[in-house]
Structure 1
Amino acid sequence: MYATLVLLGLFVFVYSAIAGGVERTPVTGPIVFTAFGLALGPVGLGWLHLDLDQEGLRTLAELTLALVLFTDAATADLSVLGRSWRIPERLLGIGLPLTIVLGFAAGVLLFPELGWLEIAILATMLAPTDAALGKAVVTNTSVPANVREGLNVESGLNDGICVPILLALLALATGVEQYRPGFSLGFFAEAIGIGVAVGVALTLAAAWLLRLSTRQGWITETWRQLPVVALALSCFGLAQWLGGSGFIAAFAGGLLYGALAKQEKHALLLAAEGTGDTLALVTWVAFGAGVVGQTMGYISGSVLLYAVLSLTLIRMVPVYLSLWGLPLRPDAKLFIGWFGPRGLASIVFGILVFTADLPGGDTLTVTAVCTILLSILLHGLTANPLVGAFAKGSGRGCDG
């Protein structure tokens, strides 16, 4: 245990010291974190022993995603979003369903051994995009603001939208009672409604208390680092407890917090962003050490082809079609389509599906892991080069 603690501590320290330099290269943090976990994990040198079971990894991924969603939403430019809301509206209302449908069609062709419900589950697992892996793009000011905000809102909401769909499919595939509530439009609306309500209510109360504490001088510099972290996790946890979507609660709370805490927002968000980055580091190290190494030997040609298609045609064609008619140039539509990384949400969904004990569960899990691993590599390596090319090209001229 102590050896693992030393290795993780030293790795966090070293990466923290060189993070700025790494971010200027094509190699992103998640690539480094996953490679570190794989190299030092059980299938590598065997030095790193992270005793995380499936529930532990799922919880870690959920908390990381909730914190990233909150902080990304809090830094969103609402004035830009107000002018370009049609981009995320189309991506979520048209692009997301089309992605699931096209993913299902590809699965029917590539995995004849799976049942149709299992293929639909796979398509839903890999439909949501990841805010953590997309951070290199949505925080880069070289990317036009409307494109950044569109991708940010899409990644913030599609996880929560896919949860009730996934539960409905699991209910049909397994007949297990715990998934049965998902099989209703009422539950879908309730999950989103509770998520929004919790995020708004908690954030309103928290923002009022923080303003009061600041005026009265009650909050010290030391404790100033923690309120946003606690608020983000509280939004997520309370919404989940009440049967809603914790991811939507975190994103809704972050949007409202960013609008209310304009002056002190930057200082209060710094600690939360640092905590989110640290949790992401641990999550990807655990993913590399405990998941990637154990599944690489099971990757088949069909699995690899589906993973490639999931990141390209299955994602990009629906995005391009959904943005049809908007004042966006073709390169902007292709850029938005390409930068739909799969990560934390798919990890959470993958563990949920794996524990459901479906007949084709192993194939679904290996395909999800392969897709996430490819996304870490391909989206990471192309982020800075494609952002630079897009900024220099005609994409700057798009308005949304």
Structure 2
Amino acid sequence: MPSEPFFELAPYHLTLAIGGLVVILAQWLPRLVSRREPAAAALMILFGAGAALLFPGAAPMPDPRQTPLPWELMSEMAVIVALFGAGMRIDELGPLRRWRPTWRLLGIAMPLTIIAVAWLGTGLVGLTLAGAILLGAVLAPTDPVLASDVQVGPPHQGREHPVRFALTTEAGLNDGLAFPFVYLGLLIAAEGLSPATWGTEWLLQDVLYRTVVGAVSGWLGARLLGVILFSVPRGAVLADTAAGVLALAGIVLCYGSTELVEGYGFIAVAVMGLTLRRVEKDHAFHRRLHDFSESIEHALTALLLVALGSALPRLFVDLTWTHLVVALLLLLIIRPLAGWLALLGTDLGRRDRAVMAVYGVRGIGSIYYLAYAASHVEFADEAEIWSLVALVIVLSTVLHGFSVGWAVDRLDEGEGKG
């Protein structure tokens, strides 16, 4: 029997070692020049890509173009936890005028972004209409995971500057609100451009029913979980002793049950976070729950970013200069301009409007939407869309990650003067 080599580089163990090293370096290296870690996301992707080139046999995840399901499931869980956490961070919902920038970003900036990206997809990249609409829907939402540096602080900490409030609530709600456009792309891909056939069904089912059911389910789920945590039994409530895992189970229950009745689970968990935060709002459990869910969010995000980086050498095979032009137009012109136009007429200053308009970070949510679509319908332009979306995420994490520290400093300075 031939002896096996003593040092055997098993791909699985090599993947674990490289992944751990990448995450540690990405979190540690920025500390040499700054006390923040906003560049960690970009470094995890870039280091993951470098590791994949050096060790091609150590890819932690399969190619998303061929096997999208693992990407869908991992990114789905990361977004669920992030959306709930975004809702939990909001200490005060009122007054109602605080929400004006949020509604404008959701109702004006996001549709404008979808339309502009879809137009570029058909006119510049040469995508089919279904693929272009899907591309617009995938790239329109502000990511609740990677945008945390410009969001409000944890419960009871305050830091609810109008810019932070708007970006937190936008990121918490627009992932669910982008879903109707994902379904629109799927419908056109499956049935063609014939609104007379599927238009009414799309409006009533995918836009109205799923959105309302998601919001109602989130509210009911939060109220029921609030009773379990804070009210019954009155003498020994779970919130005084329970770990965050109990509430995390409630989040998963709310999301899963909402999806079972065909509602938007992303909207449900965001509304659940906002509503649960109002129950016994001064209780210390809210901070414990936020910290627990944030730890899970960070762990899942790190795994996904390293995995995305490792997939870049394969995804970028189909990359063209046209893709680069579209990505730069989205990040540097389309989103900033759409956000700026949406916020005209508000009482926000120029600096605040600029930060809201510019910092629409693209990330984990885009991975989920594209993997979800790829799991349900085969698109003719799927390889091109994956390449373009991956490029946008890389550029967004680099551009936003390395500049967000400066933007946050300007916000804090303005808040201090106010």
User: What TM bracket, shorter-length normalisation?
Assistant: 0.7 to 0.9
Corresponding residue for 1:87? 101
**1:44 is matched with which residue?**
54
Q: CA deviation at 1:231?
A: 2.0
Shift of 1:216: 4.1
C-alpha distance 359-47 of structure 1, shift in aligned 2 (>3 A): closer
What letter matches 1:306 in structure 2?
A: V
With over 3 angstroms needed to count, the CA separation of the structure-2 counterparts of 1:266 and 1:27, relative to structure 1, is closer
* 1:255 equivalenced with 2:265 (yes/no): no
User: Partner of 1:333 in structure 2?
Assistant: 353
CA positional deviation for 1:254: 0.3
- The residue identity in structure 1 corresponding to 2:54 is G
Q: Equivalents in 1 of 2:243, 2:199: separation in Å?
A: 40
Work out which of the residue numbers 243, 246, 252 in structure 2 matches 1:227.
246
Aligned equivalents of 1:218, 1:266: Cα separation in 2: 16
Aligned length: 391
Contact 1:95–1:322 (8 Å) recurs in 2: yes
Corresponding residue of 2:163: 147
Distance 2:127 2:356 in 1: 31
State the alpha-carbon separation in 2 of the partners of residues 215 and 22 from structure 1.
Answer: 51
Q: Deviations over 1:160-181 (max 9, x none)?
A: 11112211222112229xxx79
Q: Distance in 2 between matches of 1:23 and 1:190?
A: 47
Question: What is the CA-CA distance between 1:13 and the residue it aligns to?
Answer: 7.0
SS of residue paired to 1:260? coil
| 2:215 aligned residue | 196
Tell me, yes or no, if structure 1 residue 307 matches structure 2 residue 327.
Answer: yes
Q: Is the 8 A contact 2:89 2:152 kept in 1?
A: no
Q: CA deviation at 1:40?
A: 2.6
> Deviation of residue 35 (structure 1)?
2.9
Q: CA deviation at 1:39?
A: 2.8
> What is the identity percentage for the equivalent residue pairs of Structure 1 and Structure 2?
25
Greater CA deviation, 119-128 or 332-341? Answer: 119-128
Report the counterpart of residue 378 of structure 2 in structure 1: 357
From 32, 38, 42, the equivalent of 1:31 is: 42
Distance, in Å, in 2 between the alignment partners of 1:47 and 1:228 is 39
Deviations 1:47-103 (A, max 9, x none): 644245421111110110110110121111324563411111111111111111222
Q: Which moved more, 1:183-192 or 1:387-396?
A: 387-396
- Say if 1:15 and 1:208 are closer, same or farther in 2 by CA, change over 3 A: farther
Alignment partners' CA distance in 2, 1:395 and 1:315: 28
Q: 1:183 to 1:384 in 2, by over 3 A?
A: farther
Distance in 2 (CA, whole Å) between partners of 1:214 and 1:66 is 29
Structure 2 portions without partners, runs of 5+: 1-11, 193-197
Instruction: For 1:11-22, list aligned pairs within 5 A.
Output: none
Cα distance change of structure 1 residues 214 and 18 upon mapping to structure 2, 3 Å threshold: farther
Q: Which residue of 1 aligns with 2:7?
A: none
* Residues 127-138 of structure 1 aligned to structure 2 (within 5 Å): 127-138=140-151
Q: Secondary structure at the match of 1:324?
A: coil
Taking structure 1 as reference, are residues 80 and 377 closer, same or farther at Cα in structure 2, changes over 3 Å only?
farther
Moved more, 379-388 or 206-215: 206-215
Classify the secondary structure of the residue corresponding to 1:84.
helix
Structure 2 matches for 1:76-225, cutoff 5 A? 76-79=90-93, 82-111=96-125, 113-139=126-152, 145-175=161-191, 184-187=202-205, 188-212=207-231, 215-217=234-236, 219=238, 223-225=242-244
- 1:126 Cα offset (Å): 0.8
SS at match of 1:184: helix
Cross-structure match for 1:74: 88
Q: Deviations 1:14-69 (Å, cap 9, x if unpaired)?
A: 8788998887246533123223422333x332464424542111111011011011
Partners in 2 of 1:21 and 1:225 — Cα distance?
33
TM-score normalised by length of structure 2 = 0.84
Report the RMSD for the aligned CA atoms in angstroms.
3.0
Q: Distance in 2 between matches of 1:12 and 1:94?
A: 37
TM-score in terms of structure 1 length: 0.88
Cα gap change, 1:181/1:106 in structure 2, threshold over 3 Å: closer, same or farther?
closer
Give the direction of change, closer, same or farther, for the CA distance of 1:261–1:21 in structure 2 (3 Å limit).
Answer: farther
Q: CA deviation at 1:4?
A: 3.2
Q: Which amino acid aligns with 1:166?
A: V
Report the residue type matching 2:143 in the other structure: D
How far apart are the structure 2 equivalents of 1:66 and 1:50? 22
Structure 2 Cα separation of the partners of residues 155 and 277 of structure 1: 16
What residue number does 1:375 align with? 396
Equivalent-residue separation in structure 2 for 1:148 and 1:205 (angstroms): 29
Structure with greater Cα Rg = 2
Matched residue type, 2:348: L
Distance 2:350 2:327 in 1: 24
Aligned to 1:293: 313
